[in-house]
Amino acid sequence: MSETTTTNTTGSATTTEALRERALKLDAADPLADRRELFALDDGVYLDGNSLGALPAHVPARVQDVLTRQWGELRIRSWEESGWWTAPERIGDRIAPLVGAAAGQIVVGDSTSVNVFKAVVAAARIAGEGRDEILVDATTFPTDGYIAASAARLTGHRIVPVAPADVPAALGPRTAVVLLNQVDYRSGRLHDLPGLTAAVHAAGAVAVWDLCHSAGALPVGLDEHGVDLAVGCTYKYLNGGPGSPAYLYVAERHQAAFDSPLPGWNSHADPFGMTPDYAPVDGSARGRVGTPDIVSMLTLEAALDAWDGVEVDAVRAKSLALTDFFLECVEAYVPAGRVTSVTPAAHAERGSQVALRCDDAESVMRRLIERGIVGDLRRPDVLRFGFTPLYVGFADAERAARVLAEVLAETAGA
């Protein structure tokens, strides 16, 4: 991975004034600027939406209705009268346009980890006999690797860790499944979903993508690029709330062959028949397992209202402009040599976060948070700043870079 060390060009009052003025002009021209008022934010700068999205301000009232009227008054009747039973597919169809999928291919429920397990095992079964390798992104979020290893033990496959760029060379006649993250959670590097999916298919294997750090931040194009299966969380850029349910995408062409390793009563063709033998329902509902987590699920449904009328292409354009501007401000403000960007400079290789390698990162992030600049870190030395275009503005980016420079100047030589 190439790295670019930032340099302090001037750091002068003139530079600061010019960057602040540019930020104000960019915010004034931002077509998504009005979305910010939909969220419950304080006067700080929240750059950790790639871990937990901000609360859409209308959600508490909607959840109150779920608790007091739907549960408190209607009680069991809400499974039908309030649409509880159909929520996993209904909310899946709300998410579908945000990841480039047609309706009927996404079901919401369970955690990302559980959905990774379902997807990898089902993919191995779809791939068929004679293929015994599961290629796993060697840089993946740890849980994906843990789950894939367990799935491999269950299905008699072996795990082959490989860097995403090396996947084409690692593919072969024994490859059954390839599990990849679209965006690296540490560095923010965006991997080539179209090209890698095509390479996987050319080798006769099944592609499974983790969209946790891309859905809601950039166009994904699941249908357009022929992705087989995908999973993702909803509490980051989709702002569904802490622990909000994840989702599972099963391409329509694979739904009849989708053999879930967790065949629960919710995915039975006759769920209330209570028969001893399992018969799977048709469609994406095959990804359901047990009783849905209704309160969290309906919280997510309410949160998705913030996306009404928003085009993902506009989100992507603002994301790239924000991260470009933040990096420019860091270069102008931060003392020379104090941070190194590990986020790719090329737009085609960048997600919606900026990761800066920094000595004493834990202490620096703690001081930033004390001053109202909320990011996070990945030990031992990476500061992460997530840019959620629905509520982060250019003035936020300028302020975050300026406070970062102040903190680093104060800690120089400490």
pLDDT tens-digit series, residues 163-190:
999 999 999 999 999 999 999 999 999 9
3-state secondary structure of 5: strand
Closest CA to 123 of 282, 248, 245: 248
Phi, psi (rounded to 5 degrees) for 317: -60, -45
| Active-site residue (options: 235, 237, 385, 394) | 235
Spatial separation of the C-alpha atoms in residues 252 and 276, rounded to whole Å: 28
Report the Cα 378 to chain-centroid distance in Å.
Answer: 17
Phi, psi (rounded to 5 degrees) for 183: -125, 130
| Active-site residue (options: 210, 228, 293, 376) | 210
Q: Which tokens belong to 52?
A: 């937990």
Query: What pLDDT does 39 receive?
Result: 98
58 Cβ partners below 8 Å, 6+ apart? 38, 302, 305
The count of C-alpha atoms lying within 13 angstroms of the C-alpha of 160, restricted to the half-sphere facing its C-beta, is 19
Work out the average pLDDT over 324-331.
98
Residue 156 is given by DSSP the state: T
Report the Cα 383 to chain-centroid distance in Å.
Answer: 18
Dihedral-angle region of residue 359 (phi above 0 means left; psi in -120 to 50 means alpha; beta otherwise): beta
**Cβ atoms within 10 Å, residue 123:** 26
**Cβ atoms within 10 Å, residue 86:** 13
Does 384 qualify as catalytic in the annotation? Answer: yes
Closest CA to 307 of 104, 32, 89: 32
- pLDDT digit string (tens) for 36-91? 999 999 999 999 999 999 999 999 999 999 999 999 999 999 999 999 999 999 99
Mean pLDDT, the chain, integer: 95
Query: What pLDDT does 279 receive?
Result: 97
Query: What pLDDT does 72 receive?
Result: 98
Q: Which residues pair with residue 386 across a beta bridge? A: 48, 353
Query: What pLDDT does 11 receive?
Result: 55
Spatial separation of the C-alpha atoms in residues 405 and 335, rounded to whole Å: 7
- pLDDT digit string (tens) for 270-294? 999 999 999 999 999 999 999 999 9
Query: What pLDDT does 329 receive?
Result: 98
Query: What pLDDT does 414 receive?
Result: 53
Does 305 qualify as catalytic in the annotation? Answer: no
Does 385 qualify as catalytic in the annotation? Answer: no
Given a cut of 80, whether residue 92 has pLDDT beyond it is yes
Q: What is the DSSP string of 114-149?
A: HHHHHHHHHHHHHH-TT--EEEEETTS-HHHHHHHH
The β-bridge relationship of strands 133-137 and 382-386 is: unpaired
Does 62 qualify as catalytic in the annotation? Answer: no
| Active-site residue (options: 189, 286, 350, 384) | 384
For tokens 């834990």, the residue is 362
Work out the average pLDDT over 130-145.
94
Encode burial over 89-117: b for 16+ CB neighbours within 10 A, e otherwise: bebbbbbbebbbbeebbbbbbbbbebbbb
| Active-site residue (options: 35, 236, 286, 350) | 236
Closest CA to 189 of 382, 389, 404: 382
Domains for the chain: give ranges and CATH numbers: 4-30+311-411 (3.90.1150.10), 60-307 (3.40.640.10)
Does 236 qualify as catalytic in the annotation? Answer: yes
Work out the average pLDDT over 25-41.
98
Q: Is the dihedral of CA 205, 211, 216, 218 positive or negative?
A: negative
For the chain, what is the radius of gyration of the CA atoms?
22
- pLDDT digit string (tens) for 328-373? 999 999 988 999 999 999 999 999 999 999 999 999 999 999 999 9
